[in-house]
Amino acid sequence: MQIEKQLRDDQALPNLRDYAQEQASFSWEAARRELDGLPGGRGLNIAYEAIGRHVANGHADQIAIIWLGKKGKRQELTYGALDSRSNQFANVLAALGVEPGDRVYSLAGRIPELYLCALGTLKHRAIFCPLFSAFGPEPIAERLQLGEARVLFTTERLYKRRIAAIHDRVPTLEHVIIMPDSKAPRNPEATIDWAKAMAEASAEYEIPDTDPETPALLHFTSGTTGTPKGAYHVHQAVLTHYVTGKLALDLHPGDIYWCTADPGWVTGTSYGISAPLSNRVTMIIDEAEFDPTRWYRILEEEKVQVWYTAPTAIRMLMKAGPELPRSSDLSALRFMASVGEPLNPQAVIWGQEVLGRPFHDNWWQTETGGIMIANYASMNVRPGSMGRPMPGVTAGILREGDDGHLHEVNDPELDGELALRPDWPSVFRGYWNNQERYDACFRDGWYLSGDLARRDEDGYYWFVGRADDVIKSAGHLIGPFEVESVIMKHPAVAEVGVIGKPDPVAGTIIKAFVSWQPGHCWSDELLKELIGFGRKNLGTAAPREIDVIESLPKTRSGKIMRRLLKARELGLPEGDTSTLEGGDN
């Protein structure tokens, strides 16, 4: 199935109008000329491209951020205010003796001060490292230790609940800056009061010369086993953020844009700070957690034009039913995109049928720093496909040959490992203090993603599964995502996760874990119906066993944790679960 693209009369023309032409003519050098660079040719700094250049070019009064507090408060920050207040935080860091390359961590909800911290840190050429505010003390301590944190920005409540007990375990942590939660804060001794420090800091700050290869961002990703990996990126990554925001998300200056991701996840930094601000849009930031009624109200009242969210959120909106969106005025929306894990075809079609436009899936990783493969505004959407490579990005499907080297697969019927030529600006420059783990990601001139995919005859890429998730059953290789997408077509199923389970006869059988749509409940008849549905539509790839669970284990970025389903089923160690959704709050 293919969803044909139609452009409404009131819509801006897409930034990418002809994919083949853009691919043929694109160069990163030419794209770099669309950015300003620091005045006087002094380098490239993410924060300057995000805010400073717009202020210098006469856009200081444009609204940069519309912040929606969970208790009803609304705050607007112009580009000028964002520039001067982040200057203050850069001066706070300078007064503390923070040096370029020092790690400045944040542990806070989606509050305006978090964004000032990020931009001020980048201006000062320290490395910004955001953490999820829902992390418990142990994963926080581990990440602070791994990155050798020097500064932490957090809130009064989070300090008392998360940091106080572990502070002494992080000897490098010299400064803790606390944002008060109350009108009469009682900040602990040896901490710094945010409001006082900011009031004493100048709003003038000149960004020092910034080599494009200066480290800028440090993001931790969960490991299947062992410790999290800290992938770091450099200031040159802003070029990828800018280009992908423009071409993959179709951002135009002045757009109202909402990325629902938390900055604790790489999407919330790349596409919740750098990409939208460098494209001079107005960002919506919602402090509250997911709520269907609230989300539709935000889309309607704020007249959101571009919306970037996660598959889990989309499936939860589907589960909430079509009544809310059909009673909302969503006419301002022109482009919707999804990221986090592959988006099931049903969700793409649901977007078209219920919201009037399809979701555009795209693919990238923490390590790539930005979108690498996407469905574009001007292209027909093939539900279930991750799309086609970004201009300037060379992708391939690889298999190992008899000579021991990796070779591209050109047969659309064959899958292999999805790989990229590592020459785009935001490719990560290392895993923090783990060179061996970093080196293992590259082979024969390619960056190896660890994802299996196939490429059809028109160059669209289709996700098969993580290399360590793929199931070999009765001699067949089966991708869990393909099985999940079919099972989700059953009207009783809201979400599904699939694993391989050892079997003495077949070697491995396919087991599915499902959660129900509202109005459905478990029965022997429904189980038989679902098994029969799988056999009819999947044949030998159908699940042999099905269990019902209230909700699937997912990371806070929306990825179904299949390895956790498997570990629990087989009684194996669960590995790193620090990013698990619904953890310690």
DSSP-assigned states of every residue in 224-255: SSSSPEEEEEETTHHHHHHHHHHHTS---TT-
CATH 3.90.660.20 fits 19-455, yes or no: no
DSSP symbols for 388-421 = EEPTT--EEEEEE-TTSSEEE---TT--EEEEE-
* Chain Cα centroid distance, residue 299: 20
Question: Each residue of 238-284: pLDDT tens digit?
Answer: 999 999 999 999 999 999 999 999 999 899 999 999 999 999 999 99
What does each C-alpha distance from 287 to 13, 280, 297 come to in angstroms? Answer: 32, 21, 14
Question: Each residue of 20-37: pLDDT tens digit?
Answer: 999 999 999 999 999 999
Domain ranges of the chain: 19-455, 469-570
Q: What is the pLDDT of residue 572?
A: 75
Radius of gyration from C-alpha coordinates of the chain: 24
* Cα–Cα distance, 492 to 508 (Å, whole number): 26
Higher pLDDT: 173 or 553? It is 173
Handedness of CA 477, 374, 264, 45 (dihedral sign): positive
* Cα–Cα distance, 392 to 371 (Å, whole number): 11
Question: Each residue of 163-191: pLDDT tens digit?
Answer: 998 999 999 999 999 998 876 566 677 79
Q: Tell me if residue 350 falls in helix, strand or coil.
A: helix
Kindly state the average pLDDT of the residues 88-105. Answer: 98
Question: Each residue of 331-383: pLDDT tens digit?
Answer: 999 999 998 878 889 999 999 999 999 999 999 999 999 999 999 999 999 99
Q: What is the pLDDT of residue 585?
A: 40
* Cα–Cα distance, 391 to 423 (Å, whole number): 12
Q: What is the pLDDT of residue 240?
A: 98
Kindly state the average pLDDT of the residues 185-204. Answer: 89
Is 54 in contact with 272 (CB distance < 8 Å)? no
Which two tokens mark 404?
Answer: 């021991």
Question: Each residue of 457-490: pLDDT tens digit?
Answer: 999 999 887 776 667 665 555 777 778 888 988 9
* Cα–Cα distance, 378 to 204 (Å, whole number): 42
Residue type, 2: Q
Report the predicted TM-score, pTM, of the whole model to 2 decimal places.
Answer: 0.85
Q: What is the pLDDT of residue 584?
A: 44
Q: What is the pLDDT of residue 9?
A: 56
* Cα–Cα distance, 462 to 459 (Å, whole number): 10
Higher pLDDT: 519 or 446? It is 446
Q: Tell me if residue 461 falls in helix, strand or coil.
A: strand
Q: How far apart are the first and last CA of the chain?
A: 42
Is 390 in contact with 247 (CB distance < 8 Å)? yes
What rounded mean pLDDT belongs to the chain?
90
Kindly state the average pLDDT of the residues 301-322. Answer: 93
E strand segments, 35-158? 63-68, 74-78, 103-107, 127-131, 151-155
Q: What is the pLDDT of residue 480?
A: 79
* Cα–Cα distance, 421 to 395 (Å, whole number): 7
Question: Each residue of 387-437: pLDDT tens digit?
Answer: 999 999 999 999 999 999 999 999 998 999 999 999 999 999 999 999 999
| H/E stretch holding 455 | strand 446-455
Q: Tell me if residue 70 falls in helix, strand or coil.
A: coil
Which two tokens mark 175?
Answer: 């400064």
CATH topology classification for 469-570: GMP Synthetase; Chain A, domain 3 (3.30.300)
Q: What is the pLDDT of residue 185?
A: 62
